[in-house]
Structure 1
Amino acid sequence: MPRRTATMLASTLMLIALLCAGVLISVPYAEMSPGPTVNTLDEHDGEPVLQITGRRTYEASGHLNMTTVRVTSPGFTMNLPQAVVGWLSRDAIVLPHDNLYPKGQTEEESTQENAEEFSESQESAKVAALKELHIPVTARVVVASVGKGTPAEGALHAGDVIKSVDGTAVRAREDVAKLVTRHKTGDKVVFAVVPAKEAAAAEKAGKDPMNTRNVVVETVDSPKGEGERRPVVGITAGTDHTFPFSIDIKLADVGGPSAGLMFALGIVDKLTPGDMTGGKFVAGTGTIDDAGKVGAIGGIGMKTVAARDAGARYFLTPADNCATAAQDTPEGLRLVKVRTIDDATRALKHIKAGQDDALPSCSKG
C-alpha cells in the first residue's frame, strides 16, 4: 500500500475513533432553545386558555402570547458533539448543567417545583389583573405547607387560615415568620386558625372564614444549612384569595412563573370592552406579583426568538431583562420595557393607536 494511501487511511480511522469517543464522552452541560408560544386570548388544545365564568367577558382579537423555553431535562446526558452543535447554533444556548438545576435535584423534584411556581404565578396573575380593573379581591394568610417531622406536623395543616399569632393579627404572610422569630427556641407559640375544611366551606359559600381555634406549637432551631439559625415551628405561610367570580387558566405541560404578566393582561383584555391590542401581535414574558410588579425571568434571548418565529411584532420585556434582550434582538421585533402591569396596559394603548414612538424601549446599557 502506498505511503500516501496508508497515511490517509490512518487519519480517517483516527477521525472516526475521535468521533466515536466524542459521542461516548458526556459533558456537564444543558441546553436551552426557543419553545412554543401560546395566545392567552385564544384556545390551546381545543379549549380556551382563559375560562371566566360569573362575569361578563368580551371578545378580543389580536395576540397576547406567553412565551416558553425548551430545556433539556435534569437527567439528560449531553455528549461532546451535541454540546458543540449547541455552541455553534444561533438559536440555542449551552450552559453548565448546575446553572439550570441545583446539584442533586431529580427530574421529579424539578417538575414539582416548576408546577408549584406555575400555579403561584396563575394566582398572582388573577389578583394583579383584578386589582388593575379595581375589582375587589379578598386575601387571607394560610398555612401553605407543613414540614415532616416538625413540631407543627399534626397540629397545623395546609389550608388552615392563620388569623393571629400570639394574639397579634396577621395581615401578610411575612408577618408569621416575624412573629415566630420573636421567640426563643423551646417557647410555645399560639396560632389562632380556621381549620382548612371550615375555610374551604366558607369560601364555597362566599363568606369570610370566622370560626377560629387556638393551636399551641413549640419552636425548635431551624435546620442546618438554611442560613442563620432561628426559632421555627415547621410551616411555610402563604396567601390565598377569594375571587368574586371564577377564573381558570387551562394550559398543560408548562411550568415556572414567567407567564404571569401575559396571563394577567389576557384576563384584563377579556374583562374589558373593546380590544387592547388593536388586532396586533404582541408577545411577552415576566413574572408578576399580587401588586402587579413585573419581575425578571431566565432565557430571555430564547423567548424573543420564539416570539419572532411565531410572528410577533412587539415583545413586552421585564425592565431587568432589557439590557440582555437588547444585545441580540431578533429582526422585526420591537422590545417594550415594562416594570408593572400599568406599564404594560399603557404600552398596549400605544401599540393599538400605532404610537410606536411613545413606547419605552430596551437599551443595551
Structure 2
Amino acid sequence: MPRRTATMLASTLMLIALLCAGVFITVPYSEMSPGPTVNTLGEHNGEPVLQISGRKTYPADGNLNMTTVRVTSADYNMNLVEAVYGWLAHDNKVVPHDTLYPEGTTEEQSTQENAEEFSQSQESAKVAALKELKIPVQSWVIVSTVVKGSPAEGRLHAGDVIKAVDGTAIKAPADVAKAVTKHKAGQKVVFTIVPAKDQAAADKDHTTATTTKDVTITTAQSDDTGAKRAIVGISAGTDHTFPFTIDIKLADVGGPSAGLMFALGIYDKLTPGDLTGGAFVAGTGTIDDDGKVGPIGGIEMKTVGARDKGAKYFLTPADNCAAAAKDTPGGLTLVKVKTMDDALDALKDIRTGKTADLPSCSKS
C-alpha cells in the first residue's frame, strides 16, 4: 500500500476513533438554545393565552410575544461531541451544568421550582397590570410553605391567610418572622388566620373571607447556621384577591421571565386600542407587584428566538442590555426598560412611529 494512502487511512481511522470516544465521554455541561415564543395576545394550542371574565375587554392586534429558552434536562449526560458542537454553534450556548442546576438538584426539583416561579410571575403580572390601570387589588400575607417536622406542621397550611400574630396585625411577610422571634424557643405564639379553604372560596366568589380562627403553636429553636432564634417552621408570602378573573393558559413553560409580557398583554386586553399599533414586539423580564422589571437568563437565545419568529422590537430588561447588545440579531431593535411604565412609553413610541425616541441598549 502506498505510504500516502496508508497515512490517510491511519488518519481517518484515528479520527473515527476520536469521534467514537467523544460520544462515550460525558462532560459536566448543559446546553441552552432558543425556545418557542408565544403571543400573549393570541392563542396557544387552540385557546387564548389570556382569558379574562367579569370585566369588559377589547380586541388586541399585533404581537406581544413572551420568549423562552430551551435547556437540556438536569439528568441529561452531555457527551464531548455534543459539547464541542454546542460551543461552535452560533445560536446555542454550552454552560457548566451547575450554572443551570446547582449541585444535587434533581429534574423533579427543577421542574417544581420553575412551576412555582411561573405561577408567581403570573400573579405579579396581574397585580402590576391592574395597578397600572388603577384597579384595586386586595393583598394578603399567607403561609407559603410549611416545613415538614416543624411545630407548624398540621397546625398551619399553605394558603392560610395570616391576619395577626399575638394580636398584632400582619401587614407584610417580614412582620411574621419579627413577631415569632420576639419569643424564646418553647414559648407559645398565637396565629390568627383565615383557613386556606375559606380564602379560596372567597376568591372564587370575589368576596372577602370573614371567618378567622386562632392557632396556638409552641416555638422551637432554629438549627440553621444563623443566629439561634425561635421558629415555627413556615415561610410567609403574599397572595392577592382580584376583582375579576384573569387566567393565563400556557402549558410547558416555567420560570419567572414572562412576567413583563403577561402584564402588558393583560393591560392591552383591558384597554381600547392596540398597544403595539399592529407591530410585532417581543420581550422578556421578571416583574414585581409594583411594575419593576428584573433581569433574566439566556437573553442571547431569547433575542434569536424572537427574531426568527418575526419580531422587530425586543423589550429588554436594563440589566440584560449589555449582554444582549453584544450580539444583536439582524433586524431586531433592542428597547431598554426598567419598569412597566418604560415599556408602555416605548410601545407608544412604536405605534406612533417615533422609533428614534426609543431607549436603546448599549454594550457597556
* TM-score exceeds 0.5: yes
What is the root-mean-square deviation in Å for CA atoms of aligned residues? 1.4
SS in 2 for 1:268: helix
Q: Please list the CA deviations of residues 89-120 of structure 1 after superposition, one character each: whole Å capped at 9, or x if unmatched.
A: 11000000000001111111111111111011
Give distance in 1, aligned partners of 2:235 and 2:147. 8
- TM-score, L = length of structure 2: 0.97
C-alpha displacement of 1:229: 4.4
Which residue matches 2:303?
A: 304
Q: Distance in 2 between matches of 1:233 and 1:255?
A: 30
- Counterpart residue number, 1:242: 241
Residue in 1 aligned with 2:263? 264
- 1:26 alignment partner, SS class: coil
Q: CA deviation at 1:228?
A: 4.8
Give secondary structure in 1 for the equivalent of 2:201: helix
Moved more, 108-117 or 10-19: 10-19
Counterpart for residue 338 of structure 1: 337
Q: After TM superposition, what 4+ stretches of structure 1 lie above 4 angstroms from structure 2? A: none
- Structure 1 stretches lacking a partner, 5+ long: none
Displacement, 1:16?
A: 1.5
Report the counterpart of residue 276 of structure 2 in structure 1. 277
Match of 1:314 in 2: 313
- Please tell me the residue identity of whatever aligns with 1:259: A
Moved more, 280-289 or 194-203: 194-203
Deviation at 1:159, TM superposition (A): 1.6
Residues 1:253 and 2:252 aligned together: yes
- 2: CA distance between counterparts of 1:135 and 1:258? 24
Counterpart of 2:23?
23
> Which residue of 2 is the match for residue 166 of structure 1?
166
Question: Quick check: 1:68 aligned with 2:68?
Answer: yes
Which residue of the partner structure matches residue 108 of structure 1?
108
Equivalent residue number for residue 153 of structure 1: 153
- Shift in Å at residue 287 of structure 1? 0.5
1:181: how far off?
2.5
Sequence identity (%): 73
Residue 94 and residue 137 in structure 1: after superposition, are their counterparts in 2 closer, same or farther (change >3 A)? same
The corresponding residue for 2:85 is 85
Letter matched to residue 250 of structure 1: K
Instruction: Confirm or deny: 8 A CA contact 2:36 2:69 kept in the other structure.
Output: yes
TM-score by length of 1: 0.96
Farther-moved stretch of structure 1 (55-64 vs 202-211): 202-211
Q: Residue type of the partner of 1:264? A: A
1:210 corresponds to which residue?
210
Distance 2:350 2:222 in 1: 51
Does 2:348 align with 1:353?
A: no
Quote the residue 1:56 is aligned against. Answer: 56
The Cα shift of 1:15 comes to 1.9
AA of the residue aligned to 1:337? K
Contact in 1 for aligned 2:286/2:293 (Cα 8 Å): yes
Q: d(CA) in 2 for partners of 1:17 and 1:281?
A: 49
Look up the SS of the partner of 1:112 in the other structure. Answer: helix
Q: How many residues in Structure 1 have an aligned counterpart in Structure 2?
A: 364
Give the C-alpha shift of residue 26 in structure 1: 0.3
